[in-house]
Amino acid sequence: MKKSFISGLLFGVALTTGAFVLSSEVTTSMDPVKISPQYYKVLLENDQVRVLEYRLKPGEKEAMHSHPAGIVYTFSDGRMKTMTPNGESHEAERKGGEVIWRDPITHAAENTGTTEIHVLAVEMKKLCN
């Protein structure tokens, strides 16, 4: 069931990106895949989207990085603290099966829970008007 949902989600994203305009690019210096390759795996990348699998074990911390707008699907329950460049921090509980829209963001992350955080992030290279 999860595989068919994810396939449908990715298919829907791919269909809707055709009419999108450039919104926010991840610069090479802030690219999470380059900064923290141990936590990210690129599953698909084209001129419309980049799909990342992300895993962060309890207690692990990730350096400051940026993401363009996109969709985040959470596979498992977890607790994460995020910190922004201006020093603000936010702690959130994520539930398995949760899907959220994420606006462009620059942040650092820490797994403050007791379980591995496992998500699929669909980063939009272009956004609709």
Question: What token pair was written down for 128?
Answer: 């609709």
Residue 29 has a pLDDT of 81
What is the number of domains present in the chain?
Answer: 1
24-28 CB contacts, 8 Å cutoff, 24+ apart: 24/68, 24/69, 24/104, 24/127, 25/68, 25/125, 26/66, 26/67, 26/68, 26/123, 27/66
User: In angstroms, rounded to a whole number, what is the distance separating the alpha carbons of residues 116 and 125?
Assistant: 27
Q: What is the CATH number of the domain that holds 46?
A: 2.60.120.10
Q: Whole-model pTM?
A: 0.76
Question: What token pair was written down for 111?
Answer: 């797994």
Domain of 116 in residue numbering reads as 2-127
User: In angstroms, rounded to a whole number, what is the distance separating the alpha carbons of residues 26 and 60?
Assistant: 23
> pLDDT tens digit string along 15-70?
333 333 333 445 568 999 999 999 999 999 999 999 999 999 999 999 999 999 99
> pLDDT tens digit string along 97-127?
999 999 999 999 999 999 999 999 999 997 6
User: In angstroms, rounded to a whole number, what is the distance separating the alpha carbons of residues 94 and 68?
Assistant: 20
